[in-house]
Amino acid sequence: MPTPESRSAARPVAPSARTHLAVRGMTCAACVGRVERALRKVSGVADAQVNFATETASVSWATEVAPDEGLTALLAAVERAGYLAQWLAPDEAPQELVESAWSVWGPVALGALASLPLMLPMLWGDHHFWPAWVQFALATPVQFILGARFFKAGWAALKAGSGNMDQLVALGTLAAWGLSVWLWWRHDGHGGGHAPALYFESSAVVITLVLLGKALEARARRQTTQAIRALQALRPETVCRVGPEGEVEVPLAQVLVDDVLVIRPGERVPTDGVVTEGHSHVDESLLTGEPLPQSRGPGERLSGGAINAEGRLVMKVTAVGGQTMLSAIIRRVVEAQAGKAPIQRLVDRVSAVFVPVVAFIALMAGAWAWWGGLGGEAALIRAVSVLVIACPCALGLATPAAIMAGTGVAARHGVLIQDPQALETTHRVQVVAFDKTGTLTVGQPRVVAWEVASASGTTALTRDQALAMAAALQSGSEHPLARAVLQAAAGMSGIPRMGQLTAHAGRGIEGTLEAPSPTGARPAPLASGQERVATPMGQASDMPDDVWRLGSQRWVSELIPGGVDPDLQALAATWARQGRTVSWLMRRAGEGWQAMAAFSFGDEPKPEAREAVAGLQAMGVRTVMISGDNRGAAEAVATALGISEVIAEVLPGDKADHVHRLQQGEGGKRRIVAMVGDGINDAPALAAADVGMAMANPQGGTDVAMQAAGVTLMRGDPRLVASAIEVSRRTTTKIWQNLVWAFGYNVIGIPLAAMGELSPMVAGAAMAMSSVSVVLNALWLSRWRPRNGAMA
């Protein structure tokens, strides 16, 4: 477990900053409330949330406090409440206690060995099978040695003025043991005689069963933190750093921004950075859920935790420590698992009064039996049974165990849920509003179509020639449309060379042909005074240079005022109505210009987008597109994807207003709206929505969106939206199942115990199984897989 001294230099904790603690010694939901009350009393604390399942506390500060002073005060408060606490880094899960198998299971085994002989007489219904002194000798070590933990924890809670599960176990078993001793003494069975109906076996068996339940519960709870521990394991301990002395292995903690690292095949990427040398594929499945390795080369980003496949990569470090994507993911998973869902508030209120209410019911059950003439023994047995079965462990585990399992399995598959509030709200989403560019579309322009002008004499081009000439003009340009042209022409042979390339701002680019075109030779030199007319591409022209231009509709209108090929102009108009960008390829012809071809650029829908929209609609969720793009482009994409409602030409600052309008609904009935976006301009809308979903964008801007969103989709796959809703629904269902299960044990068991229908031993077994069953039911979520194939 880290200590403050092991970290960097201390600095004041700003208002709203959080401090995380690992809390040891909690045994039930009542302990949670006790620790929370103690932490909230510390000066400067705004709020404190304690999670029983993760054994962690998250403290937010209202005023600035020096870290050492604030941490000391928090640790002291927890200690006064009767527990132990240690500091945790924001991206760290509590370390598992190093315990041998004997320390965990040894007490259970010893308790079973002592309890088994006491249980044998029950098979024959003979309470006189063992002499009283044998029963006493077997039960007493279990009661006071193996059960000492219950007395210690119960006494600490009592001194703090609160109740907990340990008090119920301690009171119940001590009452059974004490009653047996009393009956033995009263019937003078201490000399070897047999006392009638002794209950030493109830005392020993209940403690053994509670110990067994605690061991199984701890084992199951450890499984719920596997998602965090798996992410933490992605950090290598050492890295290969390139320095003046060459390649040297150094600890990861010594790596700084701008260091140069080498990642060999099979090694994990140690931190975030950019590739400077080499090509390879990297496996990012544990970070993003993407099942296929991704190609990486110079200039492309690497995320810490990914596995380098086959090639040697050299990278320049861009982020270290808590600033890396892996740390951000771990931090959000830790915070989500440590937080509380709104339904947990009800459970906390119930748990706060649970122990005194149960103690009262036990007292009344015993008194009623006494007044009913059943005798003191039967009265005490009924009271003990009520105390034993009413353990509130299951109540404390019901909600956090499901949240831990749900957020953990979602994170493994690329859905990062930031807090339990988002998890609990997402399942109620009625409307999903999508941003268009980069969310439903690729986010980069592509050459969607191109066409050449109709043949006019011998001046026409083929489609391949037109694309080759456009690629020649755009060679070396970093403009998005230039990259689209070069991508479309990738793999083509015979692309000519252009010289004297000149950019005309707001219009396009001009170049002179330097090499033979794809279909012919360079033009022959002009003789003195010779004139030439335009000739087919690749043949000599009447101009001294073969000049070409690629530019906008505005430019072609200026250069060719008489208009271009009518068929091509009509096609370009159709493209423009669809919201596409149109560029024209022109060639100088005599004193004027001739339009040779038109290119249509568009942002194509992602391959998975239509399936994502259909999946949401099949779930009964309404889909809307909110885009700043022109209406033609937005409606074209929406039609292709099956979205019927489009809000287009929206300024970034106005998107939040449209989200609010969607929330208002019809007839004043408020609707739950989720907003999905991928960039900085979407942050206000993400914050305004009931659930903001930030989609990873390789072009940047995701970090800002993540801060405003409750859910982060770690891949640019819109199908993850339906997956987030699905996992939220499953998790919410598990929460309610667990609460019904936990309350059901008590609602059914307490009356039965009060009526004398349950012995203390059966009550103890039921109590132990309630906690285990709740955790196992939550862990069933780890088997969840999305139905839409987004994470296959």
pLDDT in tens, 585-600: 999 887 889 899 999 9
User: Which residue has better confidence, 15 or 712?
Assistant: 712
Q: Please say if the pLDDT value at position 532 is more than 60.
A: no
Most confident listed range (384-388, 394-398, 498-502):
498-502
**Angle 746-752-756 (CA atoms, 0-180°, nearest 5)?**
135
The string of pLDDT tens digits covering residues 25-51 is 777 666 777 888 889 888 888 888 887
More confident position, 117 or 201: 117
User: Comparing 195 with 714, which gets the higher pLDDT?
Assistant: 714
Are 450 and 600 within 8 A, CB to CB?
yes
Lowest mean pLDDT among 89-103, 248-262, 566-580, 627-641: 89-103
> What is the rounded CA–CA span in Å between residue 381 and residue 364?
12
Enter the pTM of the model.
0.59
Residue 192: which of 247, 130, 245 has the closest Cα? 130
**How is 94-146 classified by DSSP, letter by letter?**
PPPP---HHHHHHHHHHHHHHHHHHHHHHHHT-TTSS-HHHHHHHHHHIIIII
Residue 443 DSSP symbol: S
Which tokens in the block code for residue 678?
């991928």
- For residue 30, which phi and psi values (nearest 5 degrees)? -65, -35
Sole residue written with tokens 């231009």? 549
Which residues are marked as active site?
Answer: 435
Per-residue DSSP letter, 71: H
The mean pLDDT of the chain is: 76
pLDDT at 286 (0 to 100): 57
* pLDDT for residue 470 is more than 50: yes
Q: Which residue has the tokens 């951000």?
A: 328
**Percentages of the chain per state (helix, strand, coil), in multiples of 5:** 50, 20, 35
- In the structure encoding, which two tokens stand for residue 55, read together? 């054994």
pLDDT at 761: 62
Q: How far is CA 717 from CA 33, 68, 627, 786, 790, in A?
A: 41, 44, 18, 13, 7
User: Tokens in use for 238?
Assistant: 């050492």
Contacts of 170 (CB under 8 A, 6+ apart): 147, 150, 151, 154
Whether 291 has a pLDDT exceeding 90, the answer reads no
Lowest mean pLDDT among 391-395, 566-570, 604-608: 391-395
DSSP annotation of 192 = S
Which helix or strand (DSSP H or E) is residue 59 part of? strand 56-61
Highest-confidence range of 114-118, 388-392, 462-466, by mean pLDDT?
Answer: 462-466
**Is 503 within 8 Å of 527 (Cβ atoms)?**
no
Q: How many residues appear in the chain?
A: 792
Q: How much is the average pLDDT of 317-345?
A: 68
Average pLDDT over residues 291-308: 80
Question: Residue holding tokens 């004139």?
Answer: 531
Q: Is 244 helix (H, G, I), strand (E, B) or coil?
A: coil
30-39, 242-251, 282-291, 361-370: which range is least confident on average?
A: 282-291
Binned at pLDDT 50, 70 and 90, residue 80 comes out as confident
